[in-house]
Amino acid sequence: MPSVLLEYTFYLALLAAAIRIAAPLLFAALGETIAEWAGVVNIGLEGTMLMGAWAAFMGTYYSGSGLVGVAAGMAAGILLTAILGYVCISRGANQVIAGIVINIFAAGTTSLIFRQTFRLTLPSVSSFAPVPIPLLSDLPVLGPVLFRHTLLVYAAFLVVPVCTFIIYRTHFGLCLRAAGEHPAAVDAAGINVVGIRYAATLLCGALAGLGGAALSIGQLNQFTDNLTAGRGFIALAIVLLGRWDPFKVMLGALLFAGADGLQLRLQVIGFAIPREVLGMIPYLLAIFAMAFVVGRLHMPAAMAKPYLRES
Amino acid sequence: MSGEQRETILVSQPVVVAPGGGRRLRGLLVPAAAVLGALAVNAVLLLALGVSPFTAYTSMVAGAIGSGQSVSDTLSKTVPIALIALGVGLTFRCGLWNAGGEGQFYAGATGAALAGILIDAPPVILIPLEVLAGVAAGCLTALVPAALKARYNTNEILVTLMLNFVPHLFALYIIQGPLSHGYAAKTVDIHAAGQLPWLVLGGLRLHAGLLFVAAATLGLSVLIERTTFGYRIRAIGSNVFAAEGAGIRVVRTQFVVFLIAGGLGGLSGMIQVAALHHNLLEGMSAGFGFTAIVAALLGRLQPFGVLAASLGFAALVVGGDSMQRTARIENSMVFVIEGLILLFLLGGRIIGRESARTS
């Protein structure tokens, strides 16, 4: 075993990395949480993140501003989920099929435009440097782990209490949960089920797009084909694992980010296990968690079912 | 709804394919319109990128069907897409969301390549062994979501999506490992005895994988339409609760169907190794697993429809590769077109329409 594994600095760096890596997953998983409360399952979360990552990169590359990139990422996420919303909410299409289609479409579009624009070059941007929080970042142990991140990382963790507040403490949140549980009752109460579901889906798109931005311009500073590499699927698993509760979703995101950070570090230090096998860890962990930890769920009753008034 | 039913994430019964009986003409016209619409929207995207859609489409058509060689390529490319799509179609028929074709393909390819490299035997022994290894590896990959679904009612769509990455990474490990070819990102070749023969028909040079596709299409067609097992699949697909009420063992049927699909996915990988590449090659699947889902849906989950759609998408993939070489237009365009076709079909409520509203 490499001696670096015995030093506590390794684990401090790992914790800091877990928080950094969690940010894109967290944004996407929180967006999905909101959509699923309203009864919309966005299997296209992977494609939405990818589209956001791509748009954020392009926006930053051409404007030189990370904020423009973030806005572009969110806008792209919203646009893509608007298509999903139209197909699933207005036209009553099956959400799984629509989600798979969104993923294929996003993978094709981002790759086509990116490769057609940049050909074989691999452009990069640098937009989000770590912003140490004054005083707090000087704390021993906690400082480097918690308070020396980019603005996007802080933002991801701030969205957690915001989501909790929206879902459990606002009128919109109540409508959201009701639309996912018993849409006909919501409709009978004179509230627009379709409007609520669209709002939730577009919010999911904005957050997933932001998650993509946090990955492309917030972490990797570049874009490549299929940059998200399954992170959207893992975010979907995190939502199940966190049982639609933003705080538990955050813990789930940290768990996966920690596993990912660990396997990446083990690859770097040349651990005895081949790097391809280490790379399987996040996916296997997600499957394991879904099978054995998630257990019996009580999910919104109208999950993944369209509500079509006229039919 | 009982608590038991509520626990499945995607318990609703989608009418994946709109009923077609008596409307055969419409059944052909609407997908054709969707394809044309997708090509039109894609053309707008190309124009925005400063690329001539005319150049793109003409080089694609020429690359896909312009010569004997390109027709042979298209027919060859139909093999992996059709085999995976037939399995995907079968799982969709009984309400299972199997998006794991890509992983099953890589598992089958890896299994067959290992058999073909490590075992030295005459063709009559080696080729069946490769088939066995490929099919078994594909089944094994499908066994994970199938068993988890049967035992814990785990959401199979997410498990299959995530399991796509695992066999792919394992294949990369084998490619980098002791069987590596050296400089190129592939393994050493399988023994000559393990290579499937080429069939020369007129001006076409085809590989024996097409025979597997013909057998699988016919076999599945008979299975679905003419056997009790097929009747159970159709019953589950049209109404899972009614099927359960009629005494059909839903969980068991779905489990078996999942394994059949996995075996077909594994077989597709085996054929690419044994007939075409003769080794395990990095990037040997050009997204076949995902194209297969599109083909299964466009083919309306009917074996012969799936075969026809697979042929069309194989032409698209071959044409796209050729377009990239000759016109320098990136072949990711293929996925844009595939996505658009299905979006039109979904928006037009031709496929994936949910049967009933919830209340």
Q: Inter-chain contact B7–A299, Cβ cutoff 8 Å? A: yes
Percentage of residues of chain B with pLDDT beyond 90: 73
Interface subset of A 194-253, CB within 8 angstroms of B: 225, 229-230, 233-234, 236-237, 240
For the domain made up of A3-8+16-119+150-293, give the CATH fold: ABC transporter involved in vitamin B12 uptake, BtuC (1.10.3470)
Instruction: Give the range among A3-12, B67-76, B293-302 with minimum mean pLDDT.
Output: A3-12
Q: Is B24 within 8 Å of chain A by CB?
A: no
- Beta-bridge mates of residue A132: A148
Select from B10, B176, B353 the Cβ nearest to the Cβ of A96.
B10
Q: How far apart are CA B351 and CA B209, in angstroms?
A: 30
Token pair for B133: 């290894």
Q: How far apart are CA A305 and CA B10, in angstroms?
A: 8
| Residue whose entry in the numeric block shows the structure tokens 């309400």 | B95
pLDDT confidence of residue B10: 37
For A253-259, what is the mean pLDDT? 95
Residues A261/A21, Cβ–Cβ less than 8 Å: yes
Query: pLDDT per residue over A205-244, tens digit each?
Result: 999 999 999 999 999 999 999 999 999 999 999 999 999 9
User: How many helices (H) and strands (E) are present in chain B, helices listed first?
Assistant: 15, 4
Residue B5 binned pLDDT confidence (cut-offs 50, 70, 90): very low
For A68-73, what is the mean pLDDT? 97
For A167-180, what is the mean pLDDT? 94
Residue B1 binned pLDDT confidence (cut-offs 50, 70, 90): very low
Nearest CA in chain B to A107: B335
Which residues span the domain enclosing B300? 3-354
Nearest CA in chain A to B159: A287
**Secondary structure of residue B252 in the 3-state scheme:** helix
Query: pLDDT per residue over B308-325, tens digit each?
Result: 999 999 999 999 999 999
Query: Per-domain residue ranges for chain A?
Result: 3-8+16-119+150-293
Residue B12 has pLDDT above 60, yes or no: no
Percentage of residues of chain A with pLDDT beyond 90: 68
pLDDT confidence of residue A291: 85
CATH number of the structural domain spanning residue B238: 1.10.3470
Output the average pLDDT for chain B.
88
DSSP B203: T
Residues B170/B110, Cβ–Cβ less than 8 Å: yes
Residue A270 has pLDDT above 80, yes or no: no
Q: How far apart are CA B188 and CA B116, in angstroms?
A: 10
Angle at A188 between CA A184 and CA A191, to 5 degrees: 95
Nearest CA in chain B to A118: B330
| Residue whose entry in the numeric block shows the structure tokens 């996915």 | B265
Amino acid, res. A181: E
Q: Is A120 within 8 Å of chain B by CB?
A: no
pLDDT confidence of residue B13: 45
Cβ-Cβ contacts under 8 Å for B226 (sequence gap 6 or more): none
Q: Which residue has the higher pLDDT, B7 or A270?
A: A270
* Sheet strands (E) in B10-128: 14-17
- Beta-bridge mates of residue B186: B281
Q: Which residue has the higher pLDDT, B25 or B248?
A: B248
The answer to the question of residue B359 being in a domain is no
Helix axes B303-327, B333-347, angle to 10 degrees: 140
Counting the structural domains of chain B, the total is: 1
Residue A267 has pLDDT above 50, yes or no: yes
Residues A39/A305, Cβ–Cβ less than 8 Å: yes
Report CA A109 to chain centroid distance, whole Å.
20
Select from A98, A103, A116 the Cβ nearest to the Cβ of B51.
A116
pLDDT confidence of residue B32: 85
The answer to the question of residue B22 being in a domain is yes
Q: How far apart are CA B315 and CA B77, in angstroms?
A: 8
Residue B61 has pLDDT above 90, yes or no: yes
> Strand B351-354 to strand B198-201: parallel, antiparallel, or no bridges (unpaired)?
unpaired
Residue A258 has pLDDT above 90, yes or no: yes
Longest dimension (CA), chain B: 63
The H-assigned helical ranges of B227-302 are 228-238, 240-245, 250-271, 288-298
Q: How far apart are CA B291 and CA B102, in angstroms?
A: 10
**ipTM given for this complex:** 0.91
Strand (E) or helix (H) holding A98? helix A95-118
Q: Inter-chain contact B353–A93, Cβ cutoff 8 Å? A: yes
Residue B82 has pLDDT above 90, yes or no: yes
